[in-house]
Structure 1
């Protein structure tokens, strides 16, 4: 059995999770209501937690101690689940296009203050 499978198995009752996390049952149920955790349920409807759930609760507790509210924590967790947006593909500039761009920037900098120092640009011209 792999470690990931063991970490996701719902084996811990809420009483043990309370001891491991120093959270109250009410807090744990509230985080479940806020959909920050989703413990498994037995046929008798008892919550059973995995080691990953315990880790998540400890993360929630840490974020709250840092002053982040539940909405902020939810955003953090959502960002962890979703793959980052792909950066738009940047067009590769040829040396000639780069020189033209820098030449235009340098000419514009004479009439207005440029974000790029003229001395830095001059080294690109032959």
Structure 2
């Protein structure tokens, strides 16, 4: 038996897949309903997932964490079947650019702005020097 044949064998019940992927059973059933994953069914009508199904669920989870919606995930998975290099480039373009670290001054300005917007910067809500304890 070849490795690819073994990876496509339906082996795992949904309880094991939830542990492997850290997705809920409801999420997995939802992705099945949307056609993103297609587990086989046992004689007792239980879902059985292959290694490939688990890999796909992990990929879906990663895309969701990156902010890609279901329509985008379907597109990426479709493109991946056609040309894996194009799909990777598409995902990289859709991802927000890497977040950079804020300087201390930028962080202080951001905090000051948020405090003022929340009403803590006005003279009526705070004594004049109260914000100074946040900024030195």
TM-score grouping bracket, smaller chain normalisation: 0.5 to 0.7
The normalised TM-score by structure 2 is 0.60
- Give the gaps of 5 or more residues in structure 2: 85-136
**Aligned counterpart, 1:37:** 37
CA distance in 1, matches of 2:21, 2:65: 13
Correspondence 1:1-126 to 2 at 5 A? 1-82=1-82
The normalised TM-score by structure 1 is 0.64
Equivalent position SS for 1:12:
coil
Q: How many residues align?
A: 84
State the 4+ residue runs in structure 1 displaced beyond 6 angstroms: none
Give the CA deviation at 1:83.
Answer: 5.2
Bigger relative contact order (CA 8 A; separation at least 6):
1
Map Cα deviations across residues 48-105 of structure 1 (whole Å, 9 max, x no partner): 0000000000000000000000110000011112359xxxxxxxxxxxxxxxxxxxxx
Give the CA deviation at 1:43.
Answer: 1.3
CA distance in 1, matches of 2:67, 2:46: 31
Considering only aligned residues, what root-mean-square deviation do their CA atoms show, in Å?
1.2
Larger radius of gyration: 1
- Give the gaps of 5 or more residues in structure 1: 85-126
CA distance in 1, matches of 2:39, 2:70: 18
CA distance in 2, matches of 1:19, 1:83: 30
